[in-house]
Amino acid sequence: MIVHGYDDHTIDTLMRSACFLEMAERISPGFCIDVNIPMCMPEWGGVIFQVKKRRPRDEGYQKNILSTALSASSGMRLAIAVDTDVDIYSMDDIIWALTTRVDAATDILIVSPGGVGQTFQPAERSSAGDREWTQSNIVFSGGIGLDATVPFRYRDAFERAGYPIERVDPKKWFSEEQIARVRSLQSEYARSLAKRGI
């Protein structure tokens, strides 16, 4: 097995995603819908939670989940929470949520600075200075939690624009070849929005 290779990453992310989902379930049953660790994140370095706020008292559980994930996973750098209208398997959609839903004053958490770090993280190794680094002298600079969820009381103001994909059939106006050509020119994100109608 190749450490930090594609196969290793895939196996690790499946297991860690399941563990994070269980952790979130223990904090607030039924609140977390799905978890993803995308390929662009090291398997130990980040996680994305998809949550569903069902009532006003659910507000805040996302921050509990973010801080717990960052505290419980040695050296984790980034944890993100998004709503159910965000595709956690599309980094384009994640970035959209971050740029439209994160309030810099209240939704950015710095968790566990000064704790034990991760030997795989160059920033943590550099904190050892001139000393030979070992796990015992790796100091964690802190993880970042980003709450990209809509405040429950303002949920109507954050509704995404929709497209009536279930009512519009392009085949009425365009040939299969024309439709295929347009789809081939679309970015992956555009195809994702067209598929979901948002």
21 and 103 belong to one structural domain: yes
Which residues span the domain enclosing 90?
A: 6-160
Check whether residue 45 and residue 70 sit in a common domain: yes
**Same domain (yes/no): 79, 174:** no
Question: What is the reported pLDDT for 82?
Answer: 98
Taking only the tens place, the pLDDT of each residue in 33-42 is: 999 999 888 7
Instruction: Please tell me which residue, 180 or 130, carries the higher pLDDT value.
Output: 180
Q: Which pLDDT band holds residue 96 (cuts at 50, 70, 90)?
A: very high
Average pLDDT over residues 167-195: 87
> d(Cα 38, Cα 93) in Å, to the nearest integer?
12
- The model's pLDDT over 101-156, given as tens digits with 9 standing for 90+, comes to 999 999 999 987 766 666 566 666 555 555 555 555 666 677 899 999 999 998 88
Chain position carrying tokens 């050509």: 181
Q: Mean of the per-residue pLDDT values for the chain?
A: 85
Kindly state whether residue 1 falls inside one of the protein's structural domains.
Answer: no
Task: Report the pLDDT value the prediction gives residue 126, as an integer from 0 to 100.
Answer: 59
